């Protein structure tokens, strides 16, 4: 679940680990973007999106959105667990600071400076300098596959990024869809190439662990795909096919009742 196509990063990671997995994607095009909303409003919308997914009786629910995890994770777990394990998406601060160099966290304005993100920095930074970079309009630009707006938003965030960082944490799942463009835009004075840290792979692996499942990338493809748009069954937004993660998914019909 996510407000929009930011969930493609985690979805593609799950698909690579388990090509046979049946997937239900619950998006909220009627309410996107979630970032500017109040915590109460965002939580209400996130619960509605989660309920739409839960109606299909999934084995687990991945919150494919950092902002929703920051603001709505407790409410979502209270609503769905223990029946449906809920896996949140956390900015990859801990592995980023392990490299020892200065780190920048690119995130939505709602996540940047939030007590949740500040708490992660305090817990894991361990003396490493961390710069929080608000990325105005980038998630929305990625959502609509607006090339000019993506370039402008990436350039603006790059201008706010200290030039000595060695790692950029992608603190919004939408950003993982344009990782190569972010890497090209950030000019650093540090030795070696800039490292980017997303969360999709770790989130997919954690979901499998919560279910007691093992990765099986060699499994035959055939998992189905169901798309829910603000509670209504539909198809992937056309903008999803602009990205490799979207093109990886089948155009399959609704999930069959397996229970």
Active site residues: 65, 172
Please give the Cα distance from 242 to 152 (Å, whole number). 18
**Residue 173 near residue 66 (C-beta atoms within 8 A):** yes
Output the DSSP codes for 144-179. TT-HHHHHHHHHHHHHTS-TT-SEEEE-SGGGGGGH
**What span, in angstroms and rounded, lies between the C-alpha atoms of 107 and 139?**
9
Alpha-carbon span 180 to 12, nearest angstrom: 17
Q: In whole angstroms, what is the distance from residue 66 CA to residue 117 CA?
A: 10
| Nearest by Cα to 67 from 90, 98, 44 | 90
């Amino acid at each position: 679940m996510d407000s929009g196509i930011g969930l493609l990063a985690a979805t593609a990671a799950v698909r690579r680990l388990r090509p046979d997995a049946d997937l239900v994607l619950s998006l909220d095009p009627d309410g996107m973007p979630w970032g500017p909303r109040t915590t109460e409003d965002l939580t209400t919308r996130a619960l509605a999106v989660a309920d739409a997914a839960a109606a299909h009786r999934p084995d687990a629910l991945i919150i494919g959105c950092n902002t929703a995890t920051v603001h709505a994770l407790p409410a979502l777990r209270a609503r769905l667990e223990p029946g449906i394990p809920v896996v949140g998406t956390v900015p990859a601060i801990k592995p980023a600071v392990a490299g020892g160099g200065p780190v920048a966290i690119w995130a939505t304005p709602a996540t940047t400076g939030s007590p949740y993100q500040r708490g992660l920095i305090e817990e894991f930074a361990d003396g490493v300098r961390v710069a929080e970079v608000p990325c105005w309009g980038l998630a929305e630009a990625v959502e609509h596959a607006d090339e000019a707006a993506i370039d402008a938003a990436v350039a603006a965030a790059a201008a706010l990024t200290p030039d000595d960082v060695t790692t950029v944490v992608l603190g919004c799942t939408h950003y993982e869809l344009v990782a190569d463009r972010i890497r090209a835009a950030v000019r650093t004075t540090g030795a070696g190439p800039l490292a980017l840290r997303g969360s999709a792979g770790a989130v997919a692996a954690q979901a499998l662990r919560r279910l007691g499942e093992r990765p099986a990338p060699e499994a035959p493809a055939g998992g189905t795909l169901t798309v829910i748009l603000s509670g209504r069954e539909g198809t992937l937004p056309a903008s999803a096919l602009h990205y490799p993660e979207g093109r990886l998914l089948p155009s399959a019909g609704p999930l069959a009742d397996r229970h």
